[in-house]
Amino acid sequence: MPMTDGGNPLKIGTRPDFVTRFKGDMAELVIYDRALSASERRAVQRYLAEKYGLAATLTASNAVPTVAITSPVGQVLQAPGNFTINVDAADADGAITGVQIFVNGSLATNDTTSPYSANVQLNYGGRMTIRAVATDNLGVQTSSSTVTLCVQGAGAPAGLVGYWPLDGNADAVVGLNGVLVSNAVAVADRNGTPNAALLFDGTLSQRVEIPGGGGLSGATQGTIAMWVKWTGPQDAGFGGSFGAVLGRQRDGAFSADIINLNNADPGLATVQWRHNNANPAITGGTIVGDDSWRHIAVTFTPTGSQLFVDGLPESTGTGGTLQTDAVTPLAIGAWTGGGGSYCTATIDDVGIWNRVLSPQEISDLFAGFSTPLNLLVQPDCLTISNATPGITLRWGDGSAILQHATDITGPWEDVLNQTNPYTVPAGPTQQFYRLRSP
């Protein structure tokens, strides 16, 4: 059509006669000299949405991503060993920006490049669940179906979800490996074993960070135990805290799961437990002492929490489900973030359980009668492992009955005097085994 405005300038925010005017904020105007195709309009929409954070506004017109675990599926894995999780993810009208892979509820990796995968170390047998979450360029997420696998091997310690011996490094025996930040130093542990603990210098903000919250994200109940030796003046943090040896913080959102002292001088200080906020849920009564090894344990449930020092109960406090945040790491040796404090201390044998340890179990850990790896549980799926002599079978269903036969087609008979676990005796012929309902 012929131009009818006489070449007058375009006015943004008002009609040319200034009668109808706009009140509000405007960020960007894009004008083309042709009609855009549908795909081009989506491209412009994505550009503006990503630049100005409009994901929520555009979710309805954005195709959700797809994600699926391709392997391992339907396999029986063997522990100890390792395996690779492979995931397919795609987005029809945009791009995949990351795929999070969770193993037994803990974040194993956040892979931002295709092909998406995670390498997982298996230490114990048992039932394992895997789930993947894909995120597209507008922030929309899709979760895959959960894959459940059976891992053959010796049973894992009862409820132990994370164990870091800190033997000069941040590697995990159970759970995800930690990351050393600012290079804590390997030193002798409480037994004098060289390079079997880590020394953290609070002036250097040293710490170990465990991805995914170290098993504490969203936990409804559990136990935290560790050996600590505070040495010299401690770094001050928020709310009268000093020398924090464990904690999680997401700035502006929460501070949680914090173990710290209530005084900068260990010779005058007692231990505090901060459950889900900056206020101590528990303040202990035992002076920890300067340069003295202490065994610290905290148990928590939906209704309460309890502090133990050197195997003895100190005090009780409030409880509740811990903050859910799979992105915020667990810090060992620090309460990181805006309210944080960093300890000057030697730390050894940090363990986290998804159950409340009994007072006797905590006492045994302190006395050295047990370690985190001694509190064993049978796997909750059928597992097979080498034994001396023979082969050992374990199964989680305590009511199931083990049967054997010399041929896969039978006839099947109940195993006499069976126990769980059951050690297969050596014999001249092959044996097949199965479980039946009672």
Instruction: Give tens-digit pLDDT for 310-369.
Output: 999 999 999 999 998 888 999 999 999 887 899 999 999 999 998 899 898 999 999 998
Residues 25-46 as b or e (16 or more Cβ within 10 Å = b): eeeeeeeeeeeeeeeeebeebb
Answer whether 243's CB lies under 8 Å from 270's CB.
no
Residue with tokens 């920890």: 288
Contacts of 388 (CB under 8 A, 6+ apart): none
Q: What percent of the chain has pLDDT over 90?
A: 54
- Looking at domain 160-367, its CATH class is mainly beta
d(CA 62, CA 44): 13
d(CA 264, CA 404): 64
d(CA 321, CA 257): 11
Answer whether 214's CB lies under 8 Å from 327's CB.
no
pLDDT of 167 strictly over 90: yes
Express each pLDDT in 261-288 by its tens digit: 999 999 999 999 999 876 899 999 999 9
Residue 138: both structure tokens together: 């507008």
- Count, residues in the chain: 438
d(CA 392, CA 376): 15
- Give the per-residue pLDDT at 154: 66
pLDDT of 29 strictly over 60: yes
- Give the per-residue pLDDT at 56: 47
In the CATH scheme, what is the code of domain 66-152? 2.60.40.10
pLDDT of 397 strictly over 70: no
d(CA 336, CA 310): 26
Contacts of 382 (CB under 8 A, 6+ apart): 150, 152, 393, 394, 395, 396, 435
Express each pLDDT in 189-217 by its tens digit: 999 999 999 999 999 999 999 998 999 99
- Give the per-residue pLDDT at 55: 59
Average confidence score pLDDT of the chain: 88
- Give the per-residue pLDDT at 351: 96
To which H or E segment does residue 42 belong? helix 38-52
More confident residue, 407 or 157: 407
Express each pLDDT in 64-116 by its tens digit: 999 999 999 877 788 888 899 999 999 988 899 999 999 887 888 999 999 99
pTM: 0.61
d(CA 299, CA 341): 22
d(CA 309, CA 298): 9
pLDDT of 377 strictly over 60: no
Express each pLDDT in 154-163 by its tens digit: 666 778 889 9
Residue 59 — very low, low, confident or very high, per pLDDT cuts 50/70/90? very low
Tell me the chain's radius of gyration from C-alpha atoms: 28
254-261 vs 207-210, strand pairing mode: unpaired
Express each pLDDT in 109-144 by its tens digit: 999 999 999 999 887 777 788 999 999 988 889 999
Domain residues of the chain, as ranges? 66-152, 160-367, 387-436
